[in-house]
Structure 1
Amino acid sequence: MAAGVTPEPEVVLETARLLLRPWRVTEAAVQRELWTERDPRVPPHRRIDAEGRPTVAEIEESIRTNRPWSSRLLAVERKATGDVIGYCGLVDSEKVPDGEPELAFELLRRVWRQGYATEASSAVLDWARSSGYERLWATVWEWNVASRRVLAKIEFTETGRMEVHAVHGTNLFTTKQL
């Protein structure tokens, strides 16, 4: 964790339309649905494998044990309907310098193009800023035009750094000063 950053044990963020909060075990099926919707160009370790893994039970266990990858990826719940539509939060990354976190978000396809990703990401940026972070990163596949658009709206800029994968495409590195 970067110097001067204050960790928060349980984060709940609120926007006009959304509540961002820790995942509940009963919402594992939503996470699994996200896995099933992923573009086939996404690397295999982030998609459902040939044996159908991760299963809902495996995802339930990861939520129950609050594994580090899930503890700062908050469930995005629509306040009007109470349904969870994806996640948004911060992840630790070995790819970026100085222990700075990455912004990560993913929403169910049925709610795309409604501004939820931008709204949730803005709330996470405010949380990161108030927690003492000075800069955030985000990596995005070059072919993921929708996510690149969200990052541009919240003023992330492309750094020129990229990782080229022969099968999956080019991963772009973006950053934002807070």
Structure 2
Amino acid sequence: MTAGGGEWSELALHTARLLLRPMRESDAVILHELWTERDPRVPPHRRIDALGRPTVEDLEEAIRSHPPTTVGLLAVQLVKTGDVIGYCGLVDSGRPVNGEPELAFELLRRHRGQGYATEASLAVMDWARSSGHERLWAGVWDWNTASRQVLAKLGFLETGHPELDPTRGATLFTTRRL
């Protein structure tokens, strides 16, 4: 894995098969497709609503109005074809530990099961380590076995303190020392 640029807005992480780079407005189409593919158990505010929102235009505006800072989601792009297949990066949601970034990833269904999420996450983890982060965490729904398997491959361990939602299941919190 190689990195280019010190600022998140200039960051480019390279692996054998992937380029991870800051989001562009043109990536909104892929983000919209990800929103449409989400499991119905995902909370409504993270899915396309009855009015079709967020639209591609809404997502373009979100990309435009939220320039990258020291954390953010990177587009995951296949080196071979140039296709964007999802995102991976660090987010600061403030939970469960304020100030510690969360590893987040999501890929289009047709690109799952090929090791891309693990490869992209390893690149982000290497960058996080070299940037001085000592620990990352990741939240995952208990029913999301694919993401749980990726996190286990990456060495994340469950904390044993789930957040229960009677409708959607439990959010499991996992951590990994870098």
Provide TM-score, normalisation by structure 2: 0.92
TM-aligned CA deviation for residue 63 of structure 1: 1.2
Higher alpha-carbon deviation: 163-172 or 93-102:
93-102
TM-aligned CA deviation for residue 7 of structure 1: 6.0
Matched, 1:102 2:102: yes
Whole-Å separation in 2 of the counterparts to 1:89 and 1:81: 21
The answer (yes or no) to whether the contact 2:76–2:87 under 8 Å persists in 1 is yes
Whole-Å separation in 2 of the counterparts to 1:74 and 1:42: 21
Q: Secondary structure at the match of 1:160?
A: coil
Whole-Å separation in 2 of the counterparts to 1:90 and 1:61: 20
TM-aligned CA deviation for residue 98 of structure 1: 4.0
Matched, 1:79 2:44: no
* Identity within the alignment, %: 66
Whole-Å separation in 2 of the counterparts to 1:138 and 1:15: 22
Q: Secondary structure at the match of 1:127?
A: helix
TM-aligned CA deviation for residue 30 of structure 1: 0.4
The answer (yes or no) to whether the contact 2:94–2:100 under 8 Å persists in 1 is no
The answer (yes or no) to whether the contact 2:8–2:68 under 8 Å persists in 1 is no
Match of 1:158?
A: 158
Higher alpha-carbon deviation: 154-163 or 90-99:
90-99
CA deviation profile, 1:90-144 (whole Å, cap 9, x unmatched): 0002212241000000000000100000000000000100110000000000000
* Partner amino acid, structure 2, of 1:133: H
* Partner amino acid, structure 2, of 1:48: I
* Partner amino acid, structure 2, of 1:126: D
TM-aligned CA deviation for residue 64 of structure 1: 1.6
The answer (yes or no) to whether the contact 2:74–2:89 under 8 Å persists in 1 is yes
Provide TM-score, normalisation by structure 1: 0.92
CA deviation profile, 1:26-51 (whole Å, cap 9, x unmatched): 12110000000000000000000111
* Partner amino acid, structure 1, of 2:83: D
Higher alpha-carbon deviation: 94-103 or 132-141:
94-103
Distance 1:162 1:7, change over 3 A: farther
Whole-Å separation in 2 of the counterparts to 1:156 and 1:9: 27
Whole-Å separation in 2 of the counterparts to 1:104 and 1:144: 13
Structure 1 residues without counterparts, runs of 5 or longer? 1-5
Structure 2 residues without counterparts, runs of 5 or longer? 1-5
RMSD: 1.5
Q: Secondary structure at the match of 2:159?
A: strand
